[in-house]
Amino acid sequence: LQASILYLMTIFSLQHWMSRRAPFKLQLPMAAWNFSIALVSGVCVATMTPEFVDSVFNKGFGASLCSTRESVYSGNNGRALFVLLIARLPEFIDTLFIVLRKQPLIFLHYYHHAVTLCTAWFTYSSFSPGLRHAIYVNSIIHTVMYSYFIVTTLKFRPPPIVARCITIGQIAQFAYLFYVTSHMTVIQKVLGEPCQSDDFGLGLTWAINISYLYLFVDFYLNKYS
């Protein structure tokens, strides 16, 4: 929470400081940054895929949402999950590039960064089996999205449909996580399965997923309609 508050204070203070200054170019640092995030995300996706496929398709979707802490946090899968969660903090650098280049800073951007850090770290420490799904799907989106950012930063212009498809992918991600959260709720509250997940974490996941789904759909409609 403190990191997210400091992040918000920093970006708005920096935005005020930049108001009387010329924008920075930062093309090569941005390209290097986007490459590093795409690389880390891609490697972690490749690392997590065998365990994710085994958990969902061999053991069953419901079982993957009622896994033990040890089964999710151990081995290569646990290490990749931890790396991706730690990466949520340096991803704040995305916003610094926007502010230093004096690009439009929309609410969706800084809300998403600040809230994702808090939610991810809380659900990791308190443990929620659904975190595996959230991190895995988000890493796939990040691999594609930051690869696209590398290309655009280097002044190449992919067809507009590419950016549109990435936004659709982000919306599909939150729609999928909405389904995951619904499934977890049924397992715990209707079927009464003794899963390792607390009520507060489940409620927080509901609130965050609904807000993300609404904001990304609103962004899509305003940008592409």
Which pLDDT belongs to residue 172?
A: 97
pTM score, whole prediction: 0.91
Residues in the chain where the model's pLDDT stays below 70? 194, 196
Which residues lie closer than 8 Å to 4 by C-beta, 6 or more apart? 113, 114, 115, 117, 118
Pick left, alpha or beta for residue 24 (phi over 0 → left; psi -120 to 50 → alpha; otherwise beta): beta
Kindly list the distances between the CA atom of residue 34 and the CA atoms of 44, 45, 117, 148, in Å, as whole numbers in the listed order: 15, 16, 19, 9
Which pLDDT belongs to residue 148?
A: 97
Which pLDDT belongs to residue 93?
A: 94
At 51-67, the pLDDT tens digits run 889 888 888 888 888 77
Which pLDDT belongs to residue 66?
A: 79
Q: What is the CA radius of gyration of the chain?
A: 18
Which pLDDT belongs to residue 122?
A: 85
| Helices 199-224, 160-185: inter-axial angle, 10-degree rounding | 160
194 vs 25: CA distance, rounded Å:
54
Kindly list the distances between the CA atom of residue 107 and the CA atoms of 112, 114, 115, 189, 209, in Å, as whole numbers in the listed order: 8, 11, 12, 34, 16
Which pLDDT belongs to residue 149?
A: 96
Q: Is the alpha carbon torsion for 91, 96, 97, 102 positive or negative?
A: positive
27 vs 153: CA distance, rounded Å:
6
Which pLDDT belongs to residue 184?
A: 86
